[in-house]
C-alpha cells in the first residue's frame, strides 16, 4: 500500500509539473505574439499579404474570442477574410445577436479597411480590461470583414486624389451595382436564380448574408463624410427620397453614427461636393440613385438592417491621416455595434413540444417589413422605444399576436417569447396581452 501511495504521489507530481510547464510555454507564446502585434504599426495600409498575416496573428493570440474565416474568394483568388469576435467563439450560443461590418467594397476606398483592422485590434486588446468592450463581445457575435474587394485594393493609389484605379473588382465591375435590385424586371425564384451572372465577390457575399441571421450591419465606403440609409434607389431612378418601411429606425441609426463621429454630424461638404448633408445623414436615393446596392439587398432579402458609412473625403488618403480617422470613428463604431441590442428578442417554439420553430415570420403592426426566426427559434427585431403589437406566424402553425409590448431605449432588448400551436391544434386565433421581461447583464437570460 505504501508503494502504491508513493507511486501515486510521483504520478501526480509529474502531471502537475507537465501542466505548469505547458502553461509557461503557452504564456511565453502569447507574450511573443502580443509583442509582434505591439511592434506592428497598425495606422497604415496593409496589403493583402500583410492583412492575412495580421489577421492570422490575432486569431492565434486571442483564440478564445477571435476566429478567422473566409466568405469565399475574389476574382484573383484572394480570400474575403472576416474575423468573428465573441466569447466562446468556437461555439454557437442561441439567441446571441449577429452584427457585421464590411469595408473596402470599392477597392480604392481604403479608410474603412484600416478602421476595421484597428477595431479588431481594439476589441481584442481591451476585452479583459474594459467592461464596456467585454460586455459587447460577451453578448454579441461580431463579424468584421476589412476587405470585400481585395483585388481592387492592390491596385489602388495612396494620396490626395480620388482617381478610380481599384474601385471595381478585377473584372472591372462595380460590386455595389451588382446585387439583385428591387426594381429589376427579373423575377427571382431562388437564391441560385439570384446568383446567376453575378461577380464572385457578390455571389460569396449574398451566400454569406443569406446563410446567417445577421441583425445589424454597416458598409464602410469613402469619398464623402455621411451616413446613408435605405433605400438606395427608386422605381423611377430619380435622385429623390426613397424611404423604407423602417424609415424612422434607419434615420435613428444614421443619426447615431453621425453624432458619435467627431466631424460627420457637422455636415461639412467635401471639396468636390456642392453642399454638405444636414446633420451628416442622407437617404441613399435622395443623394443619388444606386441600383443593385448591397445595403438594400440586406434589408430586402435577409433579417439584416444595413446603412452605408462614408468616412472620408479622400478615398485613400496619405497613411499619416489614419490615426486621425481612427479617433474620428472609434466611438461611433462601438456605439453602432451596441444598437444590435435595441428592440425585441425571444424564441418561437411549439406550444406542446417546446421544440424551436425556424422560419417563423415576425411582423410588427404598422411596419411592413418581416424578419424570421433562426434554426434555434430565436429572433431579433430592431425597434425604437415605444409600444408595439407583434404577430408571429408560420405556415404549419396558428399565428399568435401579442399586444402592448413595451420597448425601451438601448440595452437590454425587450424579451418576449412566442408559443405556437400546430394547425391540427387550432381552435380560435390566439391573442395575448403581453407583459414581457427584459434582459439584464449577469441574469440567467443575458444571451437570449
The catalytic residue positions are 310
CA 190 to chain centre: 24
* Separation between Cα atoms, residue 144 and residue 138, nearest integer Å: 16
SS3 state at 211: coil
What's the angle, vertex CA 288, arms to CA 283 and CA 292, rounded to 5? 90
The closest alpha carbon to 102, from 84, 121, 82, 118, belongs to 82
| Contact present, 179 and 231 (Cβ < 8 Å) | no
* Separation between Cα atoms, residue 162 and residue 222, nearest integer Å: 9
| Contact present, 286 and 240 (Cβ < 8 Å) | yes
* Separation between Cα atoms, residue 343 and residue 408, nearest integer Å: 8
First to last CA, the chain: 53
* Separation between Cα atoms, residue 248 and residue 251, nearest integer Å: 5
- Running DSSP on this structure, what letter comes out for residue 92? -
Amino acid at each position: 500500500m505504501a508503494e502504491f501511495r508513493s507511486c501515486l504521489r510521483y504520478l501526480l507530481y509529474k502531471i502537475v509539473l507537465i501542466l505548469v510547464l505547458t502553461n509557461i510555454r503557452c504564456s511565453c507564446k502569447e507574450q511573443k505574439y502580443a509583442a509582434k502585434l505591439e511592434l506592428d504599426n497598425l495606422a497604415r495600409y496593409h496589403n493583402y499579404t500583410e492583412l492575412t498575416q495580421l489577421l492570422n496573428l490575432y486569431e492565434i493570440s486571442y483564440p478564445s474570442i477571435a476566429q478567422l474565416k473566409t466568405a469565399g474568394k475574389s476574382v484573383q483568388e484572394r480570400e474575403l477574410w472576416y474575423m468573428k469576435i465573441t466569447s466562446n467563439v468556437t461555439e454557437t450560443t442561441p439567441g446571441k445577436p449577429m452584427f457585421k461590418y464590411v469595408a473596402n467594397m470599392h477597392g480604392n476606398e481604403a479608410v474603412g479597411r484600416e478602421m476595421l483592422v484597428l477595431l479588431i485590434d481594439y476589441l481584442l486588446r481591451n476585452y479583459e480590461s474594459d467592461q464596456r468592450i467585454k460586455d459587447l463581445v460577451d453578448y454579441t457575435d461580431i463579424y468584421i470583414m476589412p476587405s470585400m474587394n481585395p483585388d481592387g485594393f492592390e491596385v489602388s493609389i495612396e494620396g490626395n486624389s480620388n482617381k478610380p484605379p481599384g474601385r471595381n473588382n478585377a473584372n472591372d465591375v462595380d460590386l455595389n451595382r451588382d446585387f439583385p435590385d428591387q426594381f429589376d424586371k427579373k423575377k427571382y425564384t431562388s437564391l441560385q436564380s439570384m446568383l446567376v451572372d453575378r461577380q464572385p465577390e457578390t455571389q460569396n457575399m449574398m451566400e454569406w448574408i443569406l446563410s446567417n441571421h445577421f441583425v445589424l450591419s454597416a458598409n464602410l465606403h469613402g469619398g464623402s463624410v455621411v451616413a446613408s440609409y435605405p433605400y438606395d434607389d427608386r422605381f423611377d431612378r430619380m435622385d429623390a427620397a426613397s424611404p423604407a418601411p423602417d424609415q424612422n429606425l434607419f434615420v435613428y441609426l444614421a443619426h447615431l453614427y453621425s453624432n458619435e463621429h467627431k466631424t460627420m454630424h457637422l455636415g461639412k461638404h467635401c471639396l468636390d461636393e456642392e453642399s454638405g448633408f444636414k446633420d451628416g445623414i442622407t437617404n441613399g436615393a435622395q443623394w443619388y440613385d444606386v441600383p443593385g446596392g448591397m445595403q438594400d439587398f440586406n434589408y430586402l432579402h435577409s433579417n439584416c438592417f444595413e446603412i452605408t458609412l462614408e468616412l472620408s473625403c479622400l478615398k485613400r488618403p496619405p497613411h499619416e491621416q489614419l490615426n486621425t480617422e481612427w479617433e474620428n470613428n472609434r466611438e461611433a463604431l462601438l456605439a453602432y455595434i451596441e444598437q444590435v441590442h435595441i428592440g425585441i428578442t425571444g424564441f418561437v417554439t411549439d406550444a406542446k413540444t417546446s421544440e424551436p420553430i425556424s422560419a417563423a415570420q415576425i411582423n410588427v403592426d404598422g411596419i411592413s417589413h418581416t424578419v424570421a426566426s433562426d434554426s434555434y427559434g430565436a429572433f431579433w427585431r430592431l425597434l425604437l422605444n415605444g409600444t408595439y403589437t407583434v404577430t408571429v406566424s408560420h405556415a404549419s402553425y396558428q399565428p399568435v399576436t401579442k399586444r402592448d409590448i413595451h420597448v425601451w431605449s438601448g440595452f437590454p432588448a425587450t424579451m418576449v417569447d412566442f408559443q405556437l400551436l400546430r394547425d391540427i391544434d387550432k381552435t380560435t386565433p390566439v391573442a395575448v396581452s403581453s407583459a414581457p421581461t427584459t434582459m439584464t447583464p449577469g441574469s440567467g437570460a443575458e444571451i437570449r
